[in-house]
A and B are shown apart, each in its own frame.
Chain A
Amino acid sequence: MSQINVNTITNRTGSGGPVISGLATAQNGLHVTGGGVNVTGIVTATIFSGSVETLNIDSVGIITAQSGVHFGLVGSGLTISSVGAGTSMGFFTDGSEALRIDSSGNLRFNSGYGSAATAYGCRAWVNLDGTGTVSIRESGNVSSITDRGTGAYTISFSTSMPDSNYSVGGSTGRSDDVSDSNIDIRALNTGSLLFNVRNQQSAVLVDRDIILIQIFR
């Protein structure tokens, strides 16, 4: 096996870049700039730190590392792409699939469910006080709530729903008494949700200080 000891590698005249045949070592490490480095005609590629194998790429492209793979990111961050039609990304722990992003972009995960199933995330939520000066305690994907009158509210979404076929969960409460009211959904729009709060006995519109709404799609 041949060995080339180099301190500087320069482009060959008339070629696209430097070519190293055999093994190369460099006094102060090997730095590649410009078009990068292409390694061809190999079965596996192995990187050593001293005499310890730290990273290996096998013949089908599976990367194994001695101490895990750590990405140190500078600048615009990390983008991982699944190339090719119909491909997905899977993440495994201890040999079992823990998380997958399928070819349609659906996120599946197994958090004690027995298998990686599609997650249907909460697309918007709000915790509001409908009494006094109406206010939002916290919210997600909500641009505003509109107080339309006693017990009448509109939630406007920061990012619209893909259609109006979403599902709404909601509850009301009173911090000073037992809960006695229900959420009455009036209109599901892509950009907003209209609902009322009604007394569950008389059905009259009422203000409540605890109003909790979640939207799923």
Chain B
Amino acid sequence: MNQRIIYQTNEGGVAVIVPANCGLTIENIAAKDVPAGTAYKIVTTDDIPSDRTFREAWEADFSNPDGYGIGADAYFAAKETEQ
């Protein structure tokens, strides 16, 4: 999968989520694995620098997010309700 999910950490940096081949959609993974209430964007690997020399200085614009995380507990609770 060449997609990645990014969100801003509490420290102001950028976290990059690498989806596993687990059968979930990238939207499902974003909802589950992004912290609850945190805005995220779905990007491609081309958008992520491969040079990690200044990894802690990475920035991104989250003013127009693709969604907000709900966290693992709420995700599983919602899935349970659906069944």
Query: Interface stretch among A79-87, A113-121, A143-151?
Result: A143-151
If the complex has contacts A148-B9, A149-B55, A156-B32, are A142 and B22 also in contact, measured as CB distance less than 8 A?
A: yes
- Interface SS of chain A: helix, strand, loop or mixed? strand
Determine whether the beta carbon of A143 is less than 8 Å from that of B73: no
Total count of chain B residues near the partner, CB < 8 A: 26
Q: Which residues of B contact A191 (CB under 8 A)?
A: 32, 71-73, 76
Determine whether the beta carbon of A126 is less than 8 Å from that of B20: yes
By CB atoms of chain A within 10 A, which of B13, B15, B48 has the most?
B15
Total count of chain A residues near the partner, CB < 8 A: 28
Residue of B nearest to A130 (CB): B52
Q: Which residues of B contact A182 (CB under 8 A)?
A: none
Whole-angstrom distance between the alpha carbons of A35 and B3 in the complex? 54
Determine whether the beta carbon of A146 is less than 8 Å from that of B73: no
Determine whether the beta carbon of A144 is less than 8 Å from that of B72: no
B: residues with CB less than 8 A from A are: 5, 9, 13, 15-24, 29, 32-33, 45, 48, 50, 52, 55-56, 71-73, 76
